[in-house]
Amino acid sequence: MKIWGGLPGFFQALVLVVLSIVCAKLADWILSSYVSRLVGKTETTIDDEFVELMHRPVFLLVLFLGLGMAAEQAGLPENGLWATKAILKTLGIIVLVLFLIRVSRLILDALSRNQDRFHLVQSRTLPLFYNVSLLVIIGAAVYFLFISWKIDPTAWLASAGIIGLALSFAAKDSLANLFAGAFILADAPYKIGDFVLLDTGERGRVTHIGLRSTRMLTRDDVEITIPNAVMGNSKITNESGGPYEKERIRVKVGVAYGTDVDRVEELLISIAVSHPEIMREPEPRVRFRAFGESSLDFELLGWIQEPVLRGRLRHLLCKEIYKAFAEEGIEIPYPKRDVYLHGDAGSPAGD
């Protein structure tokens, strides 16, 4: 080239290396001085973090580009030049992969903080989106690496398809659990710390939600591991669901006919109000539910802070109700049956 004025190839390459370093430094300086100052005027901080992440990738990519141009002028043999360019492309792809992984995490974190607009991306679903974005980026990187080293990806893709088909049949249960876990994380019918009741009768606090299984700890301190495919097809009652974790408990009690119903209501309310673990707001209440076969049926309703307290509080309330009714002389009836024995005519019934 005339621009070099007959300068030997080695010196041409050396000049290009120096120029590439200078250009890389210049690009980094422009990012630091002008672009950073420009994005600093915006209200959001995500653009500032994005520019901060760009510094090293921009510097390295400009440097690799200059080194590739220098390799062309260095007079290397054809195979050596091809290998040098392939190595530089590989390094550039690695830099881009690391940069895109950081950018994807930055974007996903920003989306998870704005749950009013982006309901799907939440703190509990972030690991799922992290893994999906990672797989997409790495898959694209492998494809471009094959092209850089002149490897035909078609045969590899065909082989991967056959292997994937075989694995899907061999591990269909594991794949079912995997997809169910992804849907559970995305749909979020329950979260870690929730008290759930399954249609099979198990009840406990969720301690772990993975891609393969969900674990819950029962009140007997027994950990149950349930495949996500089972959880996805089960009826789940989330006792901690809704905007608040509090739960209403119900205690049913019957009193004998003829009892002063107003006095029963006063006693039940006073028992609930005097208990420190029954919430004052919403206030406890009593409902006269039905005229039973042998009793007047009442129900005491009160709110508790969390579902884990339900069993113990029912126990304590039942004890206090029984003691209070005994002191007041209020009878708690039980079903009674009169049995008549009929004997033969003219013979005593007891014979």
pLDDT of 10:
67
Mean pLDDT of 123-129: 74
Confidence class of residue 351 from pLDDT cuts 50, 70 and 90? very low
pLDDT, mean of residues 295-322: 93
Q: Give, in order, the Cα–Cα distances in Å from 185 to each of 64, 120, 199, 214, 242.
A: 41, 9, 20, 11, 17
Q: Is the pLDDT of residue 343 over 80?
A: no
23-32, 43-52, 106-115, 342-351: the lowest-pLDDT one: 342-351
Angle (CA) 92 98 103, round 5°: 120
pLDDT of residue 117: 73
Q: Looking at domain 187-238, which of 3.40.50.2000, 1.20.120.400, 3.30.300.30, 2.30.30.60 is its CATH number? A: 2.30.30.60
Single out the residue of 268, 252, 251, 248 nearest to residue 309, CA to CA: 248
CA angle 4, 7, 9 (to 5 degrees): 100
What is the number of other CB atoms lying within 10 angstroms of the CB of residue 209? 21
Question: Is the pLDDT score of 1 beyond 60?
Answer: no
Yes or no: domain 247-328 corresponds to CATH 3.30.70.100: yes
What is the tens place of the pLDDT at every residue in 173-188? 887 887 888 788 777 7
The conformation of residue 345, written as its DSSP 8-state character, comes to: T
DSSP string, 303-317: EESSGGGHHHHHHHH
Instruction: Express each pLDDT in 214-243 by its tens digit.
Output: 999 998 999 999 999 999 889 999 988 877
130: confidence class by pLDDT, cuts 50, 70, 90: confident
Which of 133-137, 169-173, 258-262, 296-300 shows the lowest per-residue confidence on average (mean pLDDT)?
169-173
At residue 160 the predicted structure's pLDDT band, cuts being 50, 70 and 90, is confident
Share of the chain above pLDDT 90, in %: 45
What are the boundaries of each domain within the chain? Answer: 2-164, 187-238, 247-328
Is residue 74 very low, low, confident or very high in pLDDT (cuts 50, 70, 90)?
A: confident
Share of the chain above pLDDT 70, in %: 92
Task: Evaluate if residue 20 carries a pLDDT over 80.
Answer: yes
Helix, strand, coil: what percent of the chain each, to 5? 55, 15, 30
pLDDT for 124 beyond 70: no
Chain-wide mean pLDDT for the chain?
86
pLDDT value at position 313?
Answer: 94
Q: Quick one: residue 56, left, alpha or beta (phi over 0 = left, psi -120 to 50 = alpha)?
A: alpha
List residues bridging with 253 in a β-sheet: 298
Nearest to 250 by CA among 194, 195, 276, 289: 289
Q: What pLDDT score was predicted for residue 225?
A: 95
Contact between residue 207 and residue 223 where contact means Cβ atoms under 8 Å apart: yes
